[in-house]
Structure 1
Amino acid sequence: MRLVSEQNPQDWLDLLLERRSLYILRGPARYEFTHEILKDEESFFDGRKVPRERRISVICRNLPLPSDPS
């Protein structure tokens, strides 16, 4: 998985998502970075090929916090 800063695309981070991984994006990681699963030909981590297999995503989101009326 790759996280890329929306403000500065030169700032990015690759993360290894093992099978059956769970990750939670919140705060700046959720709101200030794009996130993507890499294409098969780009799918390497620490110099080794990461096989792309079937993937199931479950997304749960919180309701936004109410705005401050003042």
Structure 2
Amino acid sequence: MRFACDPRLSPAEQRLYRQSDAVTEVPLRAPATLRPRVDAVGFFQRESSLFRQLLPPGARAGSP
């Protein structure tokens, strides 16, 4: 999704901003090294989802 540039940016900064919008992927040199972190994020997302399911209706996490 493309966003409008901040009008306070200089023309050079606006060009850089637009170039960054064109980036669609970031190649990784050793993606396998990230697998433990990706798995951890998935674990915490699942745990968080389970936690929300266990809350009483109308309750919010972190609320007394």
TM-score by length of 2: 0.23
Q: Name the structure with the higher strand share.
A: 1
- Larger RCO: 1 or 2 (CA < 8 Å, sep 6+): 1
Normalised to the residue count of structure 1, the TM-score between the two structures is: 0.22
Structure having the higher Rg: 2
